[in-house]
Amino acid sequence: MLLEAVYHRPQLNWCYAYDHETVHLRLRAKKNDLSEVYAFAGDKYAWDSTKELVPMTKFISDALFDYWTCEVKPPFRRLKYGFLLKSGEDQIWMTESEFTKERPVIPDRLFELPYINPGDVFTVPDWVKDAVFYQIFPERFANGDPSNDPEGVLPWGGKPERDNFFGGDLQGVIDHLDHLSELGITAIYFTPLFEATTNHKYDTADYMRIDPHFGDIETIKKLVKACHEKGIRVLFDAVFNHSGKTFAPFVDALEKGEQSRYKDWFHIREFPLEVKDGIPSYDTFGFEPLMPKLNTRNPEVKEYLIKVAEFWIKEVGIDGWRLDVANEVDHDFWRDFRKVVKNANPEAYILGEIWHESSPWLQGDKFDAVMNYPFTEAVLDFVVRGKLDALGFANAIGQQISRYPLQASEVAFNLLDSHDTPRLLTLCEGNKNKMKLAATFLFTYNGTPCIYYGDEVGLDGGPDPDCRKCMEWDPQKQDRDLFAFYQNLIAMRKELAPLRTGSIHFLLAEKNGSRLAYERRLDDERVLVLLNNYDAGQTLELTTDTPIWRDALSGKTREAVNGKLSVRLPAYGYAVLTEAK
């Protein structure tokens, strides 16, 4: 046993309360080093009568490590525990302070979870586990009310630029909700709706006012009501890291300088507020002068922004917030933000925009989830860029699963493209089969999947601003085959519970190859997913004790022969199989 590779901490994703009575324990070990692992657990005040050996299972692996897990239900919400590690005939005990050949006699030196305090349990909104999101960039989705068009609006469908407008608005969304319902969408994430000068609206001028080019508060109330009637939740985008240059407090600081009562609302290095050699004299998002960074440590700023978050939930009934540039805002702000938002709506979904490993924000005191760009990159590296073989992809996914508590993974916001990236069809160089293969993984993986508006009808586009094209509403120009594909994927995900909250186990992940198979399991229900990431047909063979499987997408049945299931997949093909009843 390579003990140097064995790792556990009594906190974070290694030891946590999954609910008010269940503790999840995890342990890391060198890949393929341990044959068995047990948790040795009990109550510290009743050790002799409660201690037990709990078998752990290898739930995922990455390139270097195996990750073992088990769940324990402490009878009195307290837990003392160590581990028994086995490799063939060898075994050793692990305590908080040492590895030892002898079983611990008393629990004093074991790891400890002192008490499952209900207030400390990381609770996420259950509805997100079943949701299918659709991201809308409002200025480019649909122009439903030409009377509120900005000056110089261009004809719908023109070439998107960083500073042009096409008149998309909230009424346009209302007019096309049936499109989303037909597709199967159950949640919308809107990029910012508040008053701003740009087409993307990430330079907020007034956090309490819907941009007049989109509509007004009555329009958004009408939209949210219409969405809820169709079973669609609504997520707003909050830009609390920075405001826009036309935000009234910043205008005041710009005009009055050191005499402004709002000067401490921002991070100002020197007066006057100006830009020298491309660097503003005040902190900004990047070095963008139009986006001054807000001082969220200032009590007035904090109170103002948190009241904004509370207002739109209470007044309009939105179902949560997506938080822009969330990792550049101080942690105390997000802790108070969560308390107020969850008090206003305990089922509100709090989603942070963070592009990297996000453990500090996913401990139950800040966000429910983050935009899962590491997932995005792993899928693209496998399917699109060819940087990962099937084994490397499985390892990348395993690493991600190991990083977070299960409840965070169950509501992770999984996406393949967005307003910040090239569109999926363009990344696939127009190859719809590759696009479908990537989407199949998206919809058969845990977390909530998100479709970027227009992907379902074949909208393409390179990097910003080209990825922000006008939605195509002419049925003759829509790819209806692609629409039907996404429609079927969504229906299948809704039908098969293991695809939403089941465990994942890789059955085949080919080294230096492109064949991938994994099982999603929930209780006694199993789903097999088979992928062929190759430009020619290939056969995947799996061992199974189930004689007949049904393809959830095509309806065809596949029969195992002598315990072997053999499935031929076409180039960039896929199959999602359920046990035939």
- Asked if residue 152 and residue 113 are part of one domain, the reply reads no
Q: Are residues 232 and 165 in the same domain?
A: yes
CATH of the domain at 71: 2.60.40.10
State the pTM of this model.
0.96
Given the residues 353, 410, 456, 460, the one annotated as active site: 353
Separation of alpha carbons 394 and 451, rounded Å: 23
Is 28 within the bounds of a domain? yes
> What is d(CA 208, CA 199) in angstroms, rounded to the nearest whole number?
18
Residue 481 lies in a domain: no
State the CATH number of the domain containing residue 257. Answer: 3.90.400.10
Residues 64 and 99 in one domain: yes
324 in catalytic set: yes
Please count the CA atoms within 13 angstroms of the CA of 405 that sit on its side-chain side. 27
**What pLDDT does residue 581 have?**
74
Cβ atoms 373, 355 nearer than 8 A: yes
Q: Do residues 136 and 222 both lie within one domain? A: yes
Catalytic residue among 169, 324, 368, 410: 324
| Under 8 Å between Cβ of 516 and 530 | yes
> Is residue 220 one of the residues assigned to a domain?
yes
Q: Report how far residue 456's alpha carbon sits from residue 130's, in angstroms, rounded to the nearest whole number.
A: 20
pLDDT tens by residue, 210-257: 999 999 999 999 999 999 999 999 999 999 999 999 999 999 999 999
463: preceding bond cis by omega (within 30 degrees): no
Q: Are residues 112 and 199 in the same domain?
A: no
Question: Residue 467 in 3-state DSSP?
Answer: helix
Q: How many domains does the chain have?
A: 4
Buried b (16+ CB within 10 A) or exposed e, 83-94: bbbebeeebbbb
To the query of whether residue 283 is one of the catalytic residues in this protein, the response is no
Same domain, 42 and 161: no
Write out the residue range of the structural domain in which residue 357 sits. 131-241+299-368
Determine the 3-state secondary structure of 307 from DSSP: helix
Please check whether residues 268 and 322 belong to one and the same domain: no
Q: Does residue 531 sit within a domain?
A: yes
Beta strands in 171-307 (DSSP E): 187-190, 194-196, 204-210, 233-238, 275-276, 279-280
Q: Do 246 and 235 belong together in one domain? A: no
Instruction: Give the Cα-Cα-Cα angle 477, 480, 486 (nearest 5 degrees).
Output: 130
**CB-side neighbour CA atoms (13 Å) of 554:** 12
Residues of the chain with pLDDT under 70: none
- Same domain for 30 and 109, yes or no, is yes
Q: Which residue has the tokens 């005939």?
A: 89
* Joined tokens for residue 359: 């453990």
Q: Is there a single domain that holds both residue 248 and residue 285? A: yes
In 163-298, where does DSSP find H-type helix?
A: 170-175, 177-183, 217-229, 248-256
Q: Which residues make Cβ contacts (< 8 Å) with residue 254, sequence separation at least 6?
A: 245, 273
- Check whether residue 233 and residue 309 sit in a common domain: yes
Kindly state whether residue 234 falls inside one of the protein's structural domains: yes
Helical packing angle, 217-229 and 299-316, nearest 10°: 50
Q: What is the CATH number of the domain that holds 526?
A: 2.60.40.1180
